[in-house]
Chain A
Amino acid sequence: MSKLLQINNLKTVFYTEEGQVPSVDNVSLDIKKGETVAIVGESGSGKSVTALSILGLVPSPGRVVTGEILYEGKDLLKMTDKEIKKIRGNEISMIFQEPLSALNPVLTVGKQIQESIELHQKKKGKRAKEKVIQLLNRVGIPRPEKVYYSYPHTLSGGMRQRVMIAMALSCRPKLIIADEPTTALDVTTQAQILNLMKSLSEEEGTTILIITHDLGVVAEMADRVVVMYAGQVVEQSTVYDLFEKPEHPYTKGLLDCTPKIHGESEELLAIEGTVPTIQNRPTGCKFHPRCKFTHEKCKEKDPELFTIKEKQKVRCYLHEKVIEERLK
């Protein structure tokens, strides 16, 4: 499979009164055609900013300072505004977390979806409207002719998210970036939306980058997983390896502290301490103040991302020895 998107050493900083704070710190990842990749992390891990960086949507005072984002071999960061506008919403589209604030409250649902079709596909009037109704149908909205004329506030949360997906699909994108698409929804609606996204990737081969904090969603959706903590990638592996044999203490901790629905409930193993804020990230390994295996080295120097086997990378000194031995 060829790579659709490749991010190399991306660094996005925010300019604040306290100086530059790196939100995304040297992140590299790639997404192959047809794959579903999940970025997992807690608030402040830089997962959303990574997604926004791809589309050049980082809000001020943030800016991408170094790195490259290759989309089909072309660097998105070097493109002019005009060039990137041709890709954004057309070849790469985005689904946001909060559909109510992402939709325009004074435009009907139909008009909003039609906008991108008119812009990118040069379809006008009746033909564009037909296309919109087709899309609303595709995402499972009942009575699409009626919903075409409704305003966002009259729809339920699940419906709004379907409208967002319809909008994202309008130009048959190659890549959909979904930033916490189900966090604001109830579990029953979440299951409906996840099923819809799964069918998109299976039937139309759409590549999906899903950003979430919910490991359940990851297990249901992803082929590969990127775990982020404090702006860095701490572990990267296939979804099966990640759940079966998590290698980074943070990933392990996340899995252990998620309550399970089946089985008797033993005590949850919480990760102690708090997620560091972006201004107060510790030196050395960013996870060391909360880690059970911390030793001196962790406090001094940031570990690199060790490749421990094909498709699995871990940013932790615990794996350094394993690799050294293998090299001998």
Chain B
Amino acid sequence: MNDLIRKNDEILLELKNVKKYYDISNSFLKNKSYLKAVDDISLRVRKGETIGIVGESGCGKSTLGNLIMQMLPLTEGQILFEGEDMSNLSANQLRKKRLDFQMIFQDPFSSLNPRMKVLDIIAEPLRTYRIAKGEELENKVYSLMDLVGLNKSQAYRYPHEFSGGQRQRIGIARALALNPKLIVCDEPISALDVSIQAQILNLLSNLQKKLGLTYIFIGHGIPAVKYISDRIAVMYMGKIVEIADKNEIVKNPKHPYTEALLSAIPVPDPKLRGNKKQTVIEGDVPNPVNPPSGCRFHTRCLYAEEKCKREEPQMKRLHSYHQFACHYPINHQGGKEFENGTA
């Protein structure tokens, strides 16, 4: 586990106090209000690692992915890719930079153009960036198809002729076409059948080993995210509430929300039925326009106290590879103080 904290680790991507607010003010009634989709997130992603991002729907995990992909402008903060601030780049410079980060989408049925052949879909980024043409282009596409486990003979077919899993493979080949360094995977397996999910997860992790890729893996199925990730970040209402090594976070969650998320996962073993400790949280995610004061989770938290309503908890450090934002972390009620720090 200690290999996660090496000093000379190369940082590929760094998020500094990233915020994305949507202005939903009503100009007629003259009241200002914002929807804070992503609120003050700091995160460092090392080269070659996979960070899993989990949370309920509406927690801002997909928005975060889109911000990293530079598909949305930031409200505040910085995103540094290889040490370079992306928001300072001109459109032209950004276009060149985009070679290095690509995305895999959730729905393989709507993310592929139904009127393009597989060959053209995978070749499109290569053509746009004028990387290859003619026979060279074709060969490149064939080798990409081979890499993701598709047959060369399928190159002239249309997306509708493929199953969900194969379509996701096409999407992966397209993302790999430009030799990216970072791939943001936005729920890439949630639209797939159970038996196909494992194939795609294995493919992604093999590709990572082969090509030295860095992944941001957004998902809501924690077991699958845990399988592929090195570290897991838990988001709640636009904030990261806990981030740690994947085994650490499962065995020793510190934030009550993480504990609740973990205990809500149905365990595929009927013998554990009933005697499993279940901390079911009641209610739904509060309205993000009007987030609760203090700790945003206090309205649903089983351990909330007076302080939680008043004060917003800062990120605290358990080890350098385990951080959380909670006043009364689990098993540490009233215990020792933690160092402040960010992921």
Contacts and interface: CB of A to CB of B under 8 A. Distances in A.
Contact of B195 (A186, A191, A275): A275
B66 interface: no
A255 B247 CA distance: 21
Find the residue from A43, A194, A254, A268 having the highest chain B CB count within 10 A. Answer: A268
Contacts of A195: 280
Contacts of A277: 163
Contact of A42 (B193, B264, B265, B266): B193
Contacts of B261: 187-188
B282 interface: yes
Given A156-B284, A219-B273, A261-B223, A254 B266 contact: no
Contacts of A265: 226-227
Assign chain A's interface to a size class.
Answer: 35 or more
Contacts, number: 127
A157 B226 CA distance: 25
B271 interface: yes
Interface in A155-192: 156-159, 186-192
B264 A187 contact: yes
Interface string A66-94: 00000000000000000000000000000
Contact of A274 (B166, B227, B250, B283): B166
Interface residues of B, number: 44
A268 B227 CA distance: 9
Interface string B280-313: 1111110000000000000000000000000000
B158 to A, nearest CB: 15
Interface in B309-338: none
Nearest to A253: B195
Given A258-B268, A275-B163, A158 B284 contact: yes
A219 to B, nearest CB: 5
B5 interface: no
A186 B222 CA distance: 11
A240 B250 CA distance: 26
B268 A186 contact: no
A215 interface: yes
B220 interface: yes
Contacts of A216: 265-268
B196 interface: yes
Nearest to B279: A191
Nearest to A216: B266
Contacts of B224: 259
A189 B300 CA distance: 13
Interface of A: 42-43, 142, 156-159, 186-192, 194-195, 213-220, 222, 239-240, 243-244, 253-255, 257-262, 264-265, 267-272, 274-275, 277
20 contacts: A42-B194, A186-B57, A190-B264, A213-B194, A216-B265, A216-B268, A219-B268, A219-B272, A220-B273, A240-B270, A240-B271, A257-B194, A259-B198, A259-B226, A260-B268, A268-B202, A268-B227, A274-B163, A274-B196, A277-B163
Sorted nearest first, the 6 A-B pairs with minimum C-beta distance are A216-B266, A257-B198, A270-B198, A191-B264, A259-B223, A42-B193
Interface of B: 56-57, 163, 165-166, 193-199, 201-202, 220-224, 226-227, 247, 250, 260-273, 278, 280-285
Given A156-B285, A191-B266, 9 more contacts: A187-B265, A214-B266, A219-B266, A219-B269, A239-B270, A240-B271, A259-B224, A260-B223, A261-B222
